[in-house]
Amino acid sequence: MIIQFATVDTARPRLVASLVAQDGLPADADLLVREAAAAARFTGKAGQLFEAMVPAGGAVARLAFAGIGDPGAAGRIATLERAGGNLTAKYLTSGETELAIDFTGSALSAEEAAAVLLAARLRAWRHDVYRTKLSDEQKPSLATITVFGAPEGTEAVWETEVAIAEGVEFTRELVTEPANVIYPESFVERCKARLEGTGVEIVVLGLAEMTALGMGALLGVAQGSVREPKILAMRWKGKAGARPTAFVGKGVTFDTGGISIKPAAGMEDMKWDMGGAGAVAGTMLALAKRKAQADVIGVCGLVENMPDGAAQRPGDVVTTMSGQTVEVINTDAEGRLVLCDALTWVQKEYSPATIVDLATLTGAIIVSLGHEHAGMFCNDDLLAGQLDAAGKASGDALWRFPLGPAYDKLIDSPIADMKNVGPRYGGSITAAQFLQRYVDKGVAWAHLDIAGTVWVDKAGATHEKGATGFGVRLLDRYVRDVLES
């Protein structure tokens, strides 16, 4: 979708949408339209959408009204995003090719108008690459949104939002592609292609380099696959000076569970077990596109977890890059084995002051939070507060969980420094405790368990069913509010 800016006197297309607050249609609305809206019980409440057909110069024009609720209510940005997303959802395959959104009289700020437009664009994203038999009625027709009466400054704000949209869309692309298309090597190549010319510095480690560095945990996960593992590091140095911030993503491009194999039902979903790495890649694209004034390193640990004759076994002991040893109790608890070596490497290589890792790490987090929040575990109250605020502002919501010695002892091993799983209960917490053992003293660190939020079975305000792009807007907002402030 292309969102264009146009002046009010530019000819409008056949389909025009206006934003309506909870008081109802404006006083100058046509009487017939007002009566039709009343009959449909449209009052401008948040989430409402009403359409009317009106004569216009010998033809018929479509008028759409999207409710934006009470201007003083909490969650204003989310409400506006819902309005923008609803418009796209209704008209994406309607046969209309252009939609005009008229902000005249809406009393929105530039930031609020941009929120409507961002949601409208994000809700239009689809992945139809492999769908060869779509009927005309199923194919997207809406190609352009033209803006009228935009508040002063909207175009400048939109330039930034476009970068965010590109980052979210790239993450969705990576997460949606099947595992025979996106695997460690192709993930790296696709990132290289999208980041080319942006100024992002890229470093790639292959099997030989990781073996030399002693990444026994990550390599243990990968040894059952014919796909060579990779470490991908992307650095955007938009500001020199202080120690950088690192975003680290779990990138298991397909997870069978290894020898501890998963049930067949639903295993196809495990193509999105690289959602953390996808979010990091999308964030780095967004930061580079908008020229963020920050020094950020994105690291993706990329492996495929397969159960062939070379795969690691339950009971194996591996030595991590940090020198700590791990007894592998369950080969399906592989994400933490990938992340622990990636965490050690980024600290030794770049000495970041802050690390945020993102991982589709545990099914237990879905039991706890469903698909509405990602779980946050953090060793620093200031960082936790900053991320929580960024989650609320961006819509990528977080909920903080505890860490502590009582949970830590649950992963002690009788024959190694630790086990890779604890008991049945508190599984998300013991996974975070495992990762914390690889964070250097003095480093502010947060672990985000995003297993319930990267892929959903129902459409939302800014996404269709499937990949959500969760994490990109969160991390970008954190960079804006903390690193660029």
Q: Which residues contact 441 (CB under 8 A, 6 or more apart)?
A: none
β-bridge partners, 64: 17, 51
- Say whether 400 is catalytic: no
Q: Write out the H or E segment, with its range, that includes residue 367.
A: helix 364-369
Task: Single out the catalytic residue among 12, 192, 262, 400.
Answer: 262
Q: Which residues contact 157 (CB under 8 A, 6 or more apart)?
A: 110, 111, 113, 114
- Six token digits for residue 242: 């202080």
User: What are the helix (H) ranges across 124-235?
Assistant: 154-176, 184-195, 207-213, 216-222
Between CA 313 and CA 302 the distance in angstroms is 20
Q: Is 462 left (phi over 0), alpha (psi -120 to 50) or beta?
A: alpha
- Say whether 262 is catalytic: yes
Phi, psi at residue 385, to the nearest 5°? Answer: -65, -40
CB 254 within 8 A of CB 229: no
Q: Residues 151, 153, 155, 158: what is their CA dihedral angle, to the nearest 10 degrees? A: -100
Task: Single out the catalytic residue among 76, 90, 172, 336.
Answer: 336
Catalytic residues: 262, 336
